[in-house]
Amino acid sequence: MCSVLIVYASRYGATATAAGRLANLLEENQDTRVLLSEMAHVEPAQLQAADLIVIGGPIYAGRIVADVPRFCDSQRETLLRSRVGLFISCLYEGDQARTQLGMAYPQWLQQHACAQADLGGAVKLRRLKFVDRFLMHSVAKVREDVDRIRMDAVSGFAAELRACLER
Ligand SMILES: Cc1cc2nc3c(=O)[nH]c(=O)nc-3n(C[C@H](O)[C@H](O)[C@H](O)COP(=O)(O)O)c2cc1C
């Protein structure tokens, strides 16, 4: 039995949704047990017990939310002893998303990670705080809810993570 811990930060729920979809795919393998945890609530014992730690967070104004690099730095020794996968949730695609992914995690962790992915993102306008809704309307021109969490990316990432577990 393999145990996978998915630790995520999420402001409005999209990264949590992507993490949940990833967990469902990984659990299709009956030998894999997946624990999902918000970054703020993860316990050291959960990190120690995992065969693979997957870390995810959303991108705002080009950067991953600050909780994520803070968490990575605080758990540096544990992460370097573990298999690690990294993902972001964002609305940009292609080169812009790749650039955001390349800047999201500390270099030492990117070099150590066995898989990295951009899983796409989602926005539910009514959930956003006023200032974020304003930015979505006026800067990003997003005028209605979008769900661009890409299941092809989630399933490709799940396959890479399974390969990590077999190494
Ligand atoms: C105010 C605001 C700024 C955003 N900035 C970016 C950005 O710079 N690049 C991007 O790809 N997506 C951006 N997004 C989209 C989010 O990354 C995406 O909706 C993500 O799925 C949100 O995840 P969460 O609900 O877990 O916080 C932004 C969204 C909001 C509301």
Ligand 1 environment, Cβ below 6 A: 10-15, 58-62, 89-92, 100, 121-123, 128, 132, 135-136
Region 139-162 average pLDDT: 95
Output the average pLDDT for the chain.
96
Predicted structure pTM score:
0.97
Arithmetic mean of pLDDT, 21-39: 96
pLDDT at residue 167 is higher than 90: no
Q: Is residue 51 part of a domain?
A: yes
25 within a domain of the structure (yes/no): yes
Tell me what pLDDT residue 140 has.
85
Structural domain includes residue 133: no
Q: 71: domain range?
A: 2-122+149-166
pLDDT per position as a tens digit, 106-136? 999 999 999 999 999 999 999 999 999 999 9
The dihedral formed by the CA atoms of 154, 69, 58 and 118, expressed in degrees to the nearest 10: -30
Tell me: pLDDT of 34 over 90: yes
Residue 31 lies in a domain: yes
Q: Is residue 94 in a domain?
A: yes
Number of the ligand 1 atom closest to the C-alpha atom of 61: 8
Number of domains in the chain: 1
For the chain, report the end-to-end CA distance as a whole number of angstroms: 15
* Predicted pLDDT at 120: 98
Residue 143, domain member (yes or no) = no
CATH value at residue 47? 3.40.50.360
Rounded to whole angstroms, how far apart are CA atoms 13 and 167? 32
The answer on pLDDT for 102 being more than 90 is: yes
CB 57 within 8 A of CB 8: yes
**Is 81 part of a structural domain of the chain?**
yes
